[in-house]
Amino acid sequence: MGLVEARAKRTKWFLADRFGMFIHWGLYAIPARGEWVRKAENLSNEDYQPYFEEFNPTAYDPKAWAAAAKAAGMRYAVLTAKHHDGFCLFDSQLTDYKATNTPAGRDLLREYVDAFRAAGLKVGLYYSLIDWHHPDFPHYGDKHHPLRNDESLKDKPHDFERYLDYMHGQVRELCTNYGQIDILWFDFSYDDMMGEKWRASELIQMVRQLQPNVIIDNRLEASGENAGSIRTRNPKPYAGDFASPEQIIPPEGILDEEGNAIPWEACITMNNNWGYCASDKNYKSSKQIIRKLVECVSKNGNMILNVGPDAKGRIPAESLQILKDIGAWMQQNSDSIYSCGRAELPKPEWGYYTQKDNKLYAHVFEPPIGPLGLAGLGDRVKKVRLLADGSELKISQPWNTFDFTDHIFVNFGEPEHLTHPLPNDVDTVLMLELE
């Protein structure tokens, strides 16, 4: 089986589930200025050490996290096992820089894996290829390291192969000690730090031996800036199973060079930070996030939506409210998300279409003037129902529509030729059963 065919087989569940939770959590929750605080403030290991000595998330309850994700309609999750700062939430035998050596005193990753699995959610692990704590990861002159401008380190030697042995060893631990892993989310490549610089082919071979069904993102050779060779018909062995655009929804989705859809997932924050940032209250509305989830699905994509728990282990109240709002909409309308993708019709002016077999879902964002017109459907529609409650919407041709013979028309009240409010101003979903 070729790489593209194997990828299609592995990602089948992923493209059906469509919606997941990203969780960025670690020592950076204590300074509470975002997950890149070490780079932003040029913090040395010594500067950062007090957070390690203090880390004790007394309110950490991964069962509550899993319940919130499930109630929102999410079907999988990815947690930062190790972020760029090098701190491990898991009990790695290759370092002392881990949760078991903090006041928390236990393997926090295992509790997450157990809780989310018990809730029936697929389990993903994020692992940073970058490590600002490890002495053999490049310091001076690196693009991102907190000490990149420290002249005193200019001639300090480091053994990058030794770091790679360490990194590969930790990935082996993650793939060996936590049961079946559904997603492995590597982050990220830059400059010449990409592909075989990470010994990527060797790494992938090991992962596939240990976790044959795991799906892997594309960041062993790419980042949020570009997709890499996954966009070609002959991807590299480490090209990944899905592309990972960051903080953007691609205008046409993501296609290969021949125009074929490839799996992709937009990773999106609720505010402007991944890790907890106490001052960042710039939260997107649940309305915007729901509509962007619909947009992703309409372009054959997924969305993974981030939460950044605080130093005590609690998901912020604003994030929980957004998840609750999304869940209320999903409870009524998730049939238009799960197992759906790009529709056979072009994007309409009033919203988006998603489609699953002969069921076409019209996501109506803008109320029409008069009846709602759906172009190009003619006599192809067997019935129309409001997805939220299954109620009938009659196909009609009011007196003011006779010039538009390639359309069907529906309305949300009587008389049928006048304007009526949408049942749901976030996204009113019509289910059209096609002949």
Query: What is the per-residue DSSP string for 166-224?
Result: HHHHHHHHHHHSSS--SEEEEE--BTTBSGGGGTHHHHHHHHHHH-TT-EEBSTTS-BT
* Confidence tier at 2 by pLDDT (50, 70, 90): confident
Across 243-249, average pLDDT? 96
Contact yes or no for 262/233 (Cβ under 8 A): no
Amino acid type, 126: Y
| Structure letter (DSSP) for residue 358 | T
Contact yes or no for 273/35 (Cβ under 8 A): yes
Across 147-165, average pLDDT? 96
Calpha distance 415→417 (Å, rounded):
6
Counted residue by residue, the chain has a size of: 435
pLDDT on residue 270: 98
- Cα–chain center distance at 283: 17
Inform me whether the pLDDT recorded for 1 exceeds 80: no
Taking each continuous run of H as one helix and of E as one strand, the counts in the chain are 10, 13
pLDDT on residue 3: 87
Q: What confidence tens digit (pLDDT) does each residue in 83-120 have?
A: 999 999 999 999 999 999 999 999 999 999 999 999 99
Task: Look at residues 328, 347, 249 and name the one whose alpha carbon lies nearest to residue 286.
Answer: 328
Percent of the chain with pLDDT over 70: 100
- Residue with the bigger pLDDT between 269 and 399: it is 269
pLDDT on residue 62: 98
**253: helix, strand or coil:** strand
Residue 328, C-beta contacts closer than 8 angstroms, at least 6 positions apart? none
* Confidence tier at 179 by pLDDT (50, 70, 90): very high
Percent of the chain with pLDDT over 90: 93
Residue in the structure block whose two tokens are 């009846």: 371
Calpha distance 207→212 (Å, rounded):
7
* Confidence tier at 225 by pLDDT (50, 70, 90): confident
Calpha distance 389→230 (Å, rounded):
41
pLDDT on residue 405: 87
Contact yes or no for 3/107 (Cβ under 8 A): no
Calpha distance 23→356 (Å, rounded):
29
- Cα–chain center distance at 213: 19
Amino acid type, 286: S
For Cα atoms 40, 42, 48, give the angle at the middle one, nearest 5 degrees.
Answer: 100
pLDDT on residue 24: 98
Phi, psi for 9 (deg, rounded to 5): -70, -45
Phi, psi for 185 (deg, rounded to 5): -110, 95
Ranges for all domains in the chain classified under CATH 3.20.20.80: 3-336
* Confidence tier at 224 by pLDDT (50, 70, 90): confident
Q: What confidence tens digit (pLDDT) does each residue in 272-313 have?
A: 999 999 999 999 999 999 999 999 999 999 999 999 999 999
Inform me whether the pLDDT recorded for 394 exceeds 90: yes
pLDDT on residue 417: 84
Task: Look at residues 130, 128, 20 and name the one whose alpha carbon lies nearest to residue 78.
Answer: 20
Calpha distance 217→224 (Å, rounded):
11
Which of 2.40.50.140, 3.40.50.300, 3.20.20.80, 3.30.565.10 is the CATH number of 3-336? 3.20.20.80
Burial 388-403 (b: 16+ CB within 10 A, else e): beeeebebeeeeebee
Six-digit token pair at 309?
């728990």
Burial 90-120 (b: 16+ CB within 10 A, else e): bbbeebebbbeebebeebbbbbbbbbbbebe
pLDDT on residue 217: 98
Torsion over CA: 31, 319, 299, 220 (sign): positive
Ranges for all domains in the chain classified under CATH 2.60.40.1180: 351-434
* Confidence tier at 4 by pLDDT (50, 70, 90): confident
Stretch (H or E) spanning 79: strand 76-82
Alpha helices in 56-159 (DSSP H): 62-71, 108-118
Task: Look at residues 263, 254, 347 and name the one whose alpha carbon lies nearest to residue 298.
Answer: 347
Residue in the structure block whose two tokens are 């489609």: 355
Please count the other Cβ atoms lying within 10 Å of the Cβ belonging to residue 274: 24
* Confidence tier at 49 by pLDDT (50, 70, 90): very high
Which of 3.30.70.260, 2.60.40.1180, 3.40.50.300, 2.30.29.30 is the CATH number of 351-434? 2.60.40.1180
Residue 392, C-beta contacts closer than 8 angstroms, at least 6 positions apart? 383, 384, 385, 386
Beta bridge partners of 432: 360, 384
